[in-house]
Structure 1
Amino acid sequence: MKIVVIGGSGLIGSNIVSRLRLYGHETVAASPRTGVNTLTGEGLAEALAGAQVVVDVANSPSFEDRAVMEFFQTSGRNLLAAEAAAGVEHHVALSVVGPDRLPQSGYFRAKVAQEELIKASKIPYTILRSTQFFEFIEGIVNSGADGDTIRLSPALIQPIASDDVSAVLADLAVGAPVNGIVEVGGPDRFPLDELARKFLAAHHDKRQVIADVHARYFGDELNDRSLVAGDDAHIGPTRFLNWLSRTSA
């Protein structure tokens, strides 16, 4: 089976490419670095020729509201049109848990728009919504920083290892389209402020974390449902504290 991974040079994409090649599939790592650009359409037709499956894990280089919306809409339209022309049989896309729960976030609004494009196309699809990656915790913590004080919501978060997300995406790519949404999350849920304290302690960072129910997460106030997966979600095996002990050693 020929599988094209859009964003195949990135954190998730390169992991998926390695897994699929190990399974024995012909796998193309498609990204601007390899001459495939979904924003301009450059190299798309050539990369998709003969492909049965496309896995889209490309991400916007800018999270500014207008830029991120333009990226996902333009990239999505170009990619889906090229897939239709190439006869692709399954479109797999990575999204984020709860994009419709945080309407003030430009990034989440853009992911909703991307999902709508996929659903409106005639290509069979599977959308995987993931909770926040362990690798992004540092950025989330720093988003609440003001000098030596960090204000974060005590709402629950269910982070997951990017490697576990990649494993699920690789499995979905070789399976039948579900024509719907699948969720994945980590095995543990933490109040966000508590997670931040654990992260900072592991990195010997002395900044103080204050729990604030009104602290905004990239524009929105959170509740205990905002950032967690549903009861029927896939659960990744890697625990946050085990990952933290390995990466902060």
Structure 2
Amino acid sequence: MTSIAVVGATGTAGSRVTARLKGREVGVVEISRASGVDLVTGQGLDGALAGVDVVIDVSNPLPADGDADIADVLGSAYRNLVGACASQEIQRLVISTIAGIDDPAFDGFPYFEAKRAAEELVLESRVPATIVRSTHWYEFATNPAAVNFDDGVVVAQDWLIQPIAADTVADVLVEAALGQSRAPRTITGPDVIRLPDLVSRLLAVQADSRGVRAAEPALAALSGGGLLAPDHAVVLGPDVDTWLTMVTLADSEELDAAGIQNE
């Protein structure tokens, strides 16, 4: 039986990937800090990958405090992951990352630069890897990196995005892990929408009457469409309207706790 490890198994995408794998005839190893594994230090990683055939990484290591450098944190995490995969002779490493961040407009944006470097580290390693790039998820509508929730008003940075559902991303990651192709994949949703509009519509279906105020993002490229899907991206549903109809109370509770993409 094939054994697949999910790194970041408790996150927004990781929990979905894990649920899908458990419906297949594969063994599933759930890896997260809750299971005693720390990507940044490497603690417990080699042992967790012992006997594993394929790894799906949907983690999003972040500095534990404001003093740490995001490039150092991500660099350490992915060096540890690639090193453990190599030592355990992992057959395939599937990485989830963000589409569009290679645009020069984002030069100097620390998080995106760190994600670029992490992707390069994976591709330059001797571990067979498949990179799945996706535009931001619908679940980004509650991401504290761009949306600030307060008692009376919600402030959302005016990003122009082409969101895709985390459920759809999970489907593609599982397909990549179980398939034979190593070709990189770029996926996106059908609709272009401004983040404040998406937040407003999400609040409406949750019967939340708070208003949403748009704020200028740190970089003009974020509001100008720098993160829209490239021409070669594969468009996958659901669209915005369909996704909103799928948001149940349980989903809403998850969204309230959702973190940064690829967590």
In the TM superposition, what are the counterparts of 1:32-111 in structure 2 within 5 Å?
32-62=33-63, 66-101=68-103, 102-111=106-115
**How many Å apart are 1:38 and its aligned residue?**
1.7
TM-score (norm 2): 0.79
Q: 1:60 and 1:44, CA in 2 relative to 1: closer, same or farther beyond 3 A? A: closer
Which residue, out of 195, 198, 203, partners 1:195?
Answer: 198
Aligned to 1:167: 171
**How many Å apart are 1:207 and its aligned residue?**
2.7
Are 1:7 and 1:30, in contact at CA under 8 Å, matched by a contact in 2?
A: yes
* Matched length: 241
The Cα offsets for residues 14-61 of structure 1, whole Å up to 9 and x where unpaired, read as: 211221221111111111211222222222222222222111111124
Secondary structure class of the residue paired with 2:191: coil
Q: 1:39 and 1:23, CA in 2 relative to 1: closer, same or farther beyond 3 A? A: same
Secondary structure class of the residue paired with 1:247: coil
Q: 1:177 and 1:51, CA in 2 relative to 1: closer, same or farther beyond 3 A? A: farther
**How many Å apart are 1:198 and its aligned residue?**
2.9
Q: 1:9 and 1:150, CA in 2 relative to 1: closer, same or farther beyond 3 A? A: closer
Are 1:65 and 1:107, in contact at CA under 8 Å, matched by a contact in 2?
A: no
**How many Å apart are 1:4 and its aligned residue?**
1.1
Secondary structure class of the residue paired with 2:102: helix
Q: Which consecutive residues of structure 1, in runs of 5 or more, have no partner in the other structure?
A: none
**How many Å apart are 1:188 and its aligned residue?**
1.2
Are 2:148 and 2:154, in contact at CA under 8 Å, matched by a contact in 1?
A: no
1:142 paired with 2:147, answer yes
Aligned to 1:184: 187
- The residue type paired with residue 87 of structure 2 is A
**How many Å apart are 1:244 and its aligned residue?**
2.4
Q: 1:150 and 1:41, CA in 2 relative to 1: closer, same or farther beyond 3 A? A: closer
Aligned to 2:260: none
Q: 1:149 and 1:166, CA in 2 relative to 1: closer, same or farther beyond 3 A? A: closer
The Cα offsets for residues 152-184 of structure 1, whole Å up to 9 and x where unpaired, read as: 43x6311111111111101001112425x3111
Are 1:55 and 1:92, in contact at CA under 8 Å, matched by a contact in 2?
A: yes
Aligned to 2:125: 121
Higher relative contact order (CA closer than 8 Å, sequence separation 6+) = 2
